[in-house]
Structure 1
Amino acid sequence: MAKLDAFTYLQKPAEIDKLIRIIDDARAKAKLLISEKEGEVKDTNWKKTVILVAISLAAGILVYLIPFEGIPERAHKFLALLTTVVLLWVTEAVPIGVTAFLAGGGLVLFGIQKPADAWEPYANPAVMFVLMIIMFGVILNEVGIAKRILHYAIKIAGTNVLKFSLVVALVSSITSSIFHDATITIIFLFAVLPVFYKMGITAEKSNNFSKFFTIMIPLTASAGGFGTILGGGRNPIAVDFIEKYIGVHIGFLDWIVIQMPMVIFASLATWAVCWIMMPPKVKEFPAEIKTDKMPPMTRNEKGVAIIFVLAFVFWTLSDFTHLHVSVVAAMALIAIFSFKFVTIKTAIQKFSWEAWLVFGAGVSLGVAMLESGAGTWLAEQFFPLIKGQPTIVIYYCIALFASTITSFMSNSAATALCLPILDPMSVEIGLNRIYTALSLPVTTSFVFLVIGCPPTIISYSTGYFRQIDFVKVAVPFALILCALSVVFMAVYWPIIFPILGY
């Protein structure tokens, strides 16, 4: 930086205009140095982008050139495109929204999907639900409810970061067993965001503290979704398959007894992995975070709170009302915007469009994986490799396969894909068919890519972590949680199944 010796100069009987010239010269030199530095950074970033894009494209081309045996042409093209898209997403070589368009465009360009089949998933019910849930997050933050959630959370859990995060992890997982994991993610995510604001932690200045919470919350929510049949679509899919093809009925309470204990272990393990991989340096929340008393709720807060609670109730009763969760969310948003508790203009301006596009692209890729035959082909190549291995190793490999598949599509779709493939294999190898079927709703909860489930996309939309940050945590998370689920299956299920009469 240019040296400005103004204080020394002031000791001399100098003219004021001469001093001003010195200050101006110093400022000019400082600006020049800053601009040169910024130019160097931009030049470095440009070169890095070109290299990462080239590597991503080369990897996709390499996959297509490998002569895989027995793979359908569409499936081969899909795997090549998927390789490029995933690398671009993880490295963020180009904006993630651009890559999201590349996914849909590539499916059409290479003849993997027809235009309608490639683009319709970008606006399917699940994707639209995620759009509305992200908007709910904007609204909760805009009217000030997020600060109230934080107030009561700290009142219960205290200001110690370790204790607070542990309570959040457990409550997030347990409540996600009953309510939609995306809703739970929004509630807890926007409880901690005010902490970041108070501490001056922005998305651009994100650190381990903010990354820890924004990654832990969606992962613990996802890891709890299998605790009851209400927790997600993958659960009734498994129940229906077991009853229809294995001839065994798994009751509502039986499911809870079988699966809920694993939720507790999964939640604690998820918290531990996040704490180890992204250890927050902050041990106590700042004193100013805690407030003894909150001011009375405003009209906007009351209105949004009432509508949100009603939406929550209808989401819980969706099995009885047969209203899709996206319909309930849409009606809630219509009410909020109609009563002007928050304007739709504000919600749109503060909405994270890129994150939503990425989820739409992920769903589109998941559909293409199913329809192109890529998912079935991968399963056919994978399972002969594990035949003859010890039973516990086979179950672990099945868990990893399910975790991998669900990282590219919804856990419901992954469960629906894996069940008809794994059940005949279980018969052939001699595995317990019910164990295999019941393990899938568990292991399809352990994603290692941001696009894997709504909670991770919702959290990613805050901007507090990059895709590479998520992968660093989520890969060991998936590996460890899959192993934990297999151990749990091997130890707990043989004890509880006879007691329940299975």
Structure 2
Amino acid sequence: MALSIQQPPQPTGESPLADSGQLQRVPAWLRFLIIALLAGLIWWLCSPLGAVRAAALATALAAALLWLTETLPLPVTALLVAPALVAGGVFTPAEAFLSFGDQVVFLVLGGYALGVAVQVNRIDLWLARRVVHLAGDGSRGLLAALMLTSAGLSMLISNTATVALLLPVVGGVLAGHVGDRNLARLLLLGVAYGASIGGIATLIGSPPNAIAAGLLQMDFLDWVLAGVPVSLLSLLLAYRILLWVFPPAVSSVSTMQLPEAEALSVEARRTLIIVFLTLLLWLFGPRLAQSLGWPQATLGAASVSMLAMLMLVLARCVDWQALERGIHWGVLLLLGGGLTLGRGLTESGAAQWLAEQLGGPAGALPFAVLLLLLVMLAVFATELISNTAVTASLAPVLMGLALQIGVDAGSLVLPVAIGTSMAFMLPVATPPNAMVHATAQVTQQDMMRVGLRLNLSVIGVITLVFLLREWWG
């Protein structure tokens, strides 16, 4: 069975509402004008707070609406944030563009370079075929293998590329089981959901992760310690819920339709060594540098990323042309714009002012209830709004709110950032969802049957994990 889809979108934190028919009927120039007028109105209404705060609030509103409606390409909106903050007096020109050179941007750049090398040398396909053949003939084992493969690849390469790679693998399996609709739903949704869930495990797995980590000044290991427990528990829940909703008609599945994995080339083996060493240094580099008496930044995540890119090129694992084509430059611009907006709201005092307005009602709630409500907002908002836009807009405010109510900023920002990657109900919510829906084997009703249950389950997981982190310090 051939599973054909349209060319997958670039993973730039797409806004699902951008494809709305009503929005498309409004010319882009008119949408831009309306948003500009709304931003001007906010600036005028907030002017008693001071010109700088008013400018930051107006810029934040304009950026969020432009991202939401995708009146402009998302990276273009990100590029407009810095000049707008300069015009409002929030930053000098030299200060405004600092975040585009933030270390987290170069960390993600290095992650993309590793991902390109993995794809160019067909390591991802080799891994997928090996895992599927090792899983045996059981449908449950095959689902687990595909979900783990999808999640594992999404920790390093984009979830869009992961699903595009695994769809032909699933198609090869389904070729021998054409009449089993539940098996098709099970495997396709398992691949899509595994990609989204795996992306939260590492700092480079999804743009919201990088934005939150940049604002909180987290390193790679800090993020892994926060993201992996949520990812593993969510994968287990997704596996159980999928089998509950769509039990396959057969317990034994033939994988004979799939070709055996080819032997890895010399370049692929070199790439695997570089990937392994890079992951080790991302996790333990600063501590290794400290033990050697070097400054920790010597083996910081950004430095390690640039060293990895150098080694990939020197070892002839990948050439510059492949890197130029494969790296998602728009995502890097989006990260820079999101970090710039966060800095602008924080340094202008606008985030603190917003937090003060929210501090009274939020402070009256038990922390567990507040956390639950914020995670619910993040998860369900991302069904319709760009996860990057949600994180970039909320994270600075949540940092101020955390200070107001006396909790660690990460206790609010991290669960919200992770929650924005957990949208499972609608095809438009994420590129993986859209790609499996486009195969015509999974309907929107199928996705909603599983997705609502999974959304509610991961809300519980995220809330519980971060409550325990807060209580145990």
Q: Quick check: TM above 0.5?
A: yes
SS in 2 for 1:222: coil
Counterpart pick for 2:38 among 51, 62, 67: 62
Once the 2 structures are TM-superposed, how far is the Cα of residue 48 of structure 1 from its aligned partner?
Answer: 3.2
User: What residue in structure 2 maps to residue 425 of structure 1?
Assistant: 405
**Deviation digits for residues 129-162 of structure 1 (CA, Å, limit 9, x no counterpart):** 2122112222211111121121233234568898
- Cα 1:87–1:76 change in 2 (3 A) is same
SS in 2 for 1:393: helix
SS in 1 for 2:317: coil
- Cα 1:55–1:70 change in 2 (3 A) is same
**Deviation digits for residues 43-85 of structure 1 (CA, Å, limit 9, x no counterpart):** x99x937534533542353244242496443233223223332
Once the 2 structures are TM-superposed, how far is the Cα of residue 297 of structure 1 from its aligned partner?
Answer: 2.0
Once the 2 structures are TM-superposed, how far is the Cα of residue 334 of structure 1 from its aligned partner?
Answer: 0.9
**Deviation digits for residues 371-395 of structure 1 (CA, Å, limit 9, x no counterpart):** 1222212211112123444664334
Q: Does 1:135 align with 2:113?
A: yes
User: What residue in structure 1 maps to residue 24 of structure 2?
Assistant: 48
User: What residue in structure 1 maps to residue 258 of structure 2?
Assistant: 290
**Deviation digits for residues 76-112 of structure 1 (CA, Å, limit 9, x no counterpart):** 3223223332333333333333223222332333333
Q: In 1, are the aligned partners of 2:110 and 2:308 still within 8 Å (CA)?
A: no
Residue identity matched to 1:145: I
User: What residue in structure 2 maps to residue 381 of structure 1?
Assistant: 357
Counterpart pick for 2:287 among 291, 297, 320: 320
User: What residue in structure 1 maps to residue 166 of structure 2?
Assistant: 195
Residue identity matched to 1:300: E
Once the 2 structures are TM-superposed, how far is the Cα of residue 402 of structure 1 from its aligned partner?
Answer: 8.9
Unpaired runs of 5+ residues, structure 2, are 1-19, 172-184, 204-208, 245-251, 289-295, 382-386, 423-429, 437-443
Higher relative contact order (CA 8 A, sep 6+): 2
- CA separation in 2, counterparts of 1:195 and 1:183? 11
Q: Does 1:78 align with 2:56?
A: yes
Q: Does 1:446 align with 2:422?
A: no
Q: In 2, are the aligned partners of 1:52 and 1:88 still within 8 Å (CA)?
A: no
1:158-237 residue pairs with structure 2 within 5 A?
184-186=155-157, 192-196=163-167, 213=191, 216-222=194-200
User: What residue in structure 1 maps to residue 101 of structure 2?
Assistant: 123
- CA separation in 1, counterparts of 2:31 and 2:37? 10
- Which has the higher Rg, Structure 1 or Structure 2? 1
Residue identity matched to 1:65: L
Q: TM-score, normalised by structure 1?
A: 0.59
Residue identity matched to 2:420: F
- Cα 1:259–1:59 change in 2 (3 A) is closer
- CA separation in 2, counterparts of 1:387 and 1:234? 25
User: What residue in structure 2 maps to residue 39 of structure 1?
Assistant: none
**Deviation digits for residues 180-233 of structure 1 (CA, Å, limit 9, x no counterpart):** xx9824287655433346789xxxxxxx998985675244431677xxxxx999
Once the 2 structures are TM-superposed, how far is the Cα of residue 126 of structure 1 from its aligned partner?
Answer: 0.7
Once the 2 structures are TM-superposed, how far is the Cα of residue 363 of structure 1 from its aligned partner?
Answer: 1.9
User: What residue in structure 2 maps to residue 331 of structure 1?
Assistant: 307
- CA separation in 2, counterparts of 1:223 and 1:147? 21
Q: TM-score, normalised by structure 2?
A: 0.63
The total of aligned residue pairs comes to 397
Residue identity matched to 1:446: I
Percentage identity across paired residues of the two chains: 18
User: What residue in structure 1 maps to residue 427 of structure 2?
Assistant: none
User: What residue in structure 2 maps to residue 369 of structure 1?
Assistant: 345
Counterpart pick for 1:300 among 247, 267, 270: 267
- Cα 1:396–1:58 change in 2 (3 A) is same
- Cα 1:368–1:423 change in 2 (3 A) is closer
Q: In 2, are the aligned partners of 1:118 and 1:364 still within 8 Å (CA)?
A: yes
Q: Does 1:358 align with 2:334?
A: yes
Residue identity matched to 1:85: A
- CA separation in 2, counterparts of 1:52 and 1:165? 43
Residue identity matched to 1:336: L
**Deviation digits for residues 388-447 of structure 1 (CA, Å, limit 9, x no counterpart):** 44664334346568999x956989x959x8567535525xxxxxx6xx677446514425
Unpaired runs of 5+ residues, structure 1, are 1-43, 176-181, 201-207, 226-230, 240-251, 277-283, 427-432, 451-458
Residue identity matched to 1:320: R
Aligned CA RMSD, in angstroms, stands at: 5.6
- Cα 1:94–1:410 change in 2 (3 A) is closer
User: What residue in structure 2 maps to residue 348 of structure 1?
Assistant: 324
